[in-house]
DNA sequence: TATTGTTATACTCTATAACTATA
DNA sequence: TATAGTTATAGAGTATAACAATA
């Protein structure tokens, strides 16, 4: 008995993700954004208050890496950082109006991109797909 | 009617892929490899002859990026490049014994990692999962 | 002129280590 | 001492543009 050929599932996963990420990056860049900027903006919007440590964790990067992005975003006029009077070690991050505008532009792009990805796929297919993603993440975490 | 909340499928996809890639990178690095090295080794092994242009395309990177990796791999004693006598523009890439050994070590790692990823998933689940991956790739390509 | 590949250069994302400031 | 964040530095992976060699 020869065992059936199985393509490495991780390779298929990362190849597809890479293709999708590139297309998404292009779409974000077309309106002046990028993937990390988008993720950071989402995190800032979804939890108004929270220190950078939490922010970094939410985005899945190190604190210093977050600082790197925040520096660029602050230089770009997307956000401000000020010390929290209650605990002056904490830097409170807030979006400027320009940052808000970019967030909304990027959200439009993200919504359109999501619709594009879902084309031709049923709710059931996607639900099953997400279940497998969840399991893969668990299998990797151990 | 409020529309049901749908998490962006691309975000779930890339987050899971990133987690899986990091775990895989760590596993490859533990035996002296990396993801691009592994992909390049696979491509070299699977199609003994073929120019670097094809190699780059198979790996999904630009020609200059491939040269970058080949330089490092040649310095590391994993492969040799010599001109094809039939067409001296073409550089024939061949693995050294050390390159072969690394390929086999990485293959072991990849097989073990694949088994780890598949844990708890049925053939049917994975087949459906791959179908969705294929569709996502199509949706992105357009 | 077209093709194959390299070199030079730079960009993005990421990380670690050492540092400042605050508590 | 511990915590929050920054600065300095570096490394991996990628890309584009200009180039050399060959056909």
Kindly report, residue by residue over A31-60, the tens digit of the pLDDT: 888 888 999 999 888 875 578 888 998 888
Q: Is residue A19 part of a domain?
A: no
Joined together, the tokens standing for residue B50 give 């073929």
pLDDT at res. A48: 58
Asked whether residue B33, judged by its CB, lies under 7 Å from any atom of the DNA or RNA strand D, the reply is no
* CB spacing of A129 vs B132 below 8 angstroms: yes
Asked if residue B1 has pLDDT above 80, the reply is no
> What mean pLDDT comes out for the span A75-96?
93
Q: Is residue B126 part of a domain?
A: no
Average pLDDT taken over every residue of chain A: 90
Q: Is residue B15 part of a domain?
A: yes
Q: Is residue A68 part of a domain?
A: yes
> What mean pLDDT comes out for the span B112-137?
95
pLDDT at res. A11: 84
pLDDT at res. B3: 66
Asked whether residue A63, judged by its CB, lies under 7 Å from any atom of the DNA or RNA strand D, the reply is yes
pLDDT at res. A131: 96
Residues 6+ apart with CB under 8 A from A111: none
Q: Is residue A110 part of a domain?
A: yes
Asked if residue A1 has pLDDT above 70, the reply is no
Q: Is residue B4 part of a domain?
A: no
- Residue B37: domain span: 9-116
pLDDT, tens only, B76-93: 999 999 999 999 999 999
Asked if residue A69 has pLDDT above 90, the reply is yes
pLDDT, tens only, B31-46: 989 999 999 999 998 8
Q: Is residue A99 part of a domain?
A: yes
Q: Is residue A140 part of a domain?
A: no
**Dihedrals φ, ψ of B121, to 5°?**
-115, 135
pLDDT at res. B129: 96
Domain count, chain B: 1
pLDDT at res. B62: 95
How confident is residue B5, by pLDDT bands cut at 50, 70 and 90? confident
CATH at residue B70:
1.10.10.10
pLDDT, tens only, A12-28: 898 888 888 888 888 88
> What mean pLDDT comes out for the span B104-110?
94
Alpha-carbon distances, residue A17 vs A23, A133, B72, B101, B102 (angstroms) = 10, 12, 26, 30, 26
Does residue B15 sit at the A interface (CB-CB below 8 Å)? Answer: yes
Of the candidates B23, B125, B135, the beta carbon closest to that of A120 is on: B135
Q: A3, A5, A7, A8: which to substitute to probe chain B, counting the most B Cβ within 10 Å?
A: A8
């Amino acid at each position: 008995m020869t065992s059936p050929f199985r393509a490495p599932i991780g390779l298929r996963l990362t190849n597809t993700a890479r293709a999708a990420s590139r297309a998404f990056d292009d779409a974000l860049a077309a309106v002046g954004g990028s993937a990390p900027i988008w993720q950071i903006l989402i995190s800032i919007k979804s939890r108004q208050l929270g220190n950078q440590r939490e922010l970094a964790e939410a985005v899945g990067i190190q604190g210093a890496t977050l600082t790197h992005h925040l520096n660029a975003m602050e230089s770009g006029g997307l956000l401000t950082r000020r010390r929290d009077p209650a605990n002056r070690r904490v830097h409170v991050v807030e979006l400027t109006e320009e940052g808000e505008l970019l967030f909304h532009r990027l959200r439009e792009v993200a919504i359109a991109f999501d619709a594009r990805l879902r084309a031709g796929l049923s709710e059931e297919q996607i639900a099953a797909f997400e279940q497998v993603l969840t399991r893969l993440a668990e299998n990797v975490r151990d």
